[in-house]
Amino acid sequence: MTFSDGPCDDWPVSWTCDVSTYSQEATGMALSMATKVLWALSGRRYGTCSTTLRPCRPSCYQPWPQSHPLLFPWSEWGGSPSNWDASYWFSSECGQCSGGCSCGEVPTVLLPSLCNAVTQVKVNGVVLDPSAYRLDDNRLLVRTDGYRWPRCNNLRLADTEQGTWSVTAAYGLDVPSEAAGVVGELACQVLRARNGADCRLPMQLQSLIRQGVTITFPDINAAVEAGRTGVYLVDLWLAAVNPNRLQQRSRVYAVDRVPPRRAGS
C-alpha cells in the first residue's frame, strides 16, 4: 500500500558519478527526484510505507437463518432457533474461531490487505516480542504464545494505554537491489542538468546541424508518454520491471466491506 502521492522514503543509491563537489542539499534533491520518477515509471509498487492499524474485530459467528438445513430437527433439541442463544454453541470472542485446516483454535487477525511485514504489535501499551506472533500469507496475523488477541480495543485512547492494541505493518514491495545503480545514474544526470553541465537527459532540442553533420535527439515528450526517461541504463531497467508500462498495480475493492481503521490518518 504505497501512498499515492509518492514513495515514503528515498530509494537506496549507488552513485555512478563523483558527488564530492556537490552540496548535500543538491544530492538530496537529485536523489529524491530520481526516486519519485523511478517509483512512478516502475508501476508505483516498490518501496514500503508503514501504517498503524487499530484492529476492532467483528463477531466470530453469523446467526443461522431459520431455513438453514440441519441434521436434527430443532424440536428434538428444545425449541426453535428463535429462542436459542447461538453464542452458547459458537464462541463470539475474537480469535476463538478454528481455522479451516486447523485441529484447534488459532487466534488470528485478518489484516486489511497484503503487507510486506509486521514490524510491531502493542497490547495494553506493551510491545509484544516478535516470537509471540507470526505473519501467514502476508495477511494473517497469528498469535503463537498461547494467548488470545484482545476482544476489545478502546479507540478513544492512544495505543500506549491499557485496553488498547495496535498493529504496525509495512506495505509495498522491497526495492530491488539492482535498482541502486539505476537510481544513482538518474540522480547523477539530474545533478548535471541542474548545474548546466552536459548530461544524458533528453532536452527539447530535436536536431543539431554543425559542419555538415546532423545529430538527432530523442523526443523527450515521446519518452515521457511512453513511460521512459531517455537514459539508456535507466530505461533498460524499467523495461525489465515494467514491460507493459503499467501506472500502478491492479487492485480489487470490496465496496460492501467496512474499511480498516488506520490510526492518525
Mean pLDDT, residues 147-158 taken together: 90
User: Quick one: which of 184, 203, 204 has its CA closest to 193?
Assistant: 203
Q: How confident is the model at residue 67 (pLDDT cuts 50, 70, 90)?
A: very low
Task: State how far the Cα of 44 lies from the Cα of 226, in Å rounded to an integer.
Answer: 16
Task: State how far the Cα of 48 lies from the Cα of 45, in Å rounded to an integer.
Answer: 8
Mean pLDDT, residues 13-22 taken together: 94
Cell for 175?
A: 526495492
Residue 115 lies in a domain: yes
Residue 126 lies in a domain: yes
Query: Which residues does 141 contact at the CB level (< 8 Å), separation at least 6?
Result: 108, 109, 110, 111, 118, 121, 133, 134, 135, 167
CA distance from start to end of the chain: 14
Mean pLDDT, residues 48-67 taken together: 66
Residue 106 lies in a domain: yes
Cell for 248?
A: 500502478
197 vs 123 pLDDT, higher one: 123
Residue 147 lies in a domain: yes
Q: How confident is the model at residue 103 (pLDDT cuts 50, 70, 90)?
A: low
Query: Of all helices (H) and strands (E), which one includes residue 37?
Result: helix 24-41
163 vs 104 pLDDT, higher one: 163
182-215 pLDDT, tens digit per residue, is 999 999 999 988 877 666 555 554 554 556 665 5
Q: What is the CA radius of gyration of the chain?
A: 27
Does pTM surpass 0.75?
Answer: no
Number of domains in the chain: 1
Residue 91 lies in a domain: yes
Task: State how far the Cα of 44 lies from the Cα of 60, in Å rounded to an integer.
Answer: 36
**pLDDT reported for residue 55:** 86
Cell for 184?
A: 544513482
Mean pLDDT, residues 137-156 taken together: 91
Query: Which residues does 212 contact at the CB level (< 8 Å), separation at least 6?
Result: none
User: Quick one: which of 99, 88, 104 has its CA closest to 146?
Assistant: 104
Q: How many degrees, rounded to 5, is the angle at CA 184 between CA 199 and CA 45?
A: 115
**pLDDT reported for residue 251:** 63
Residue 148 lies in a domain: yes
Task: State how far the Cα of 37 lies from the Cα of 3, in Å rounded to an integer.
Answer: 15
Residue 185 lies in a domain: no
Residue type, 137: D
Task: State how far the Cα of 241 lies from the Cα of 223, in Å rounded to an integer.
Answer: 17
Task: State how far the Cα of 109 lies from the Cα of 35, in Å rounded to an integer.
Answer: 34
Query: Of all helices (H) and strands (E), which one includes residue 173?
Result: strand 165-173
* 232-241 and 24-41 helices, crossing angle to 10°: 40
Task: State how far the Cα of 237 lies from the Cα of 220, in Å rounded to an integer.
Answer: 18
Residue 121 lies in a domain: yes
Distances (CA, A) of 178 to 71, 202, 218, 220: 60, 24, 26, 25
Range of the domain at 99: 87-164
Mean pLDDT, residues 217-235 taken together: 70
Strand partners, 128: none
* Mean pLDDT (the chain, rounded): 77
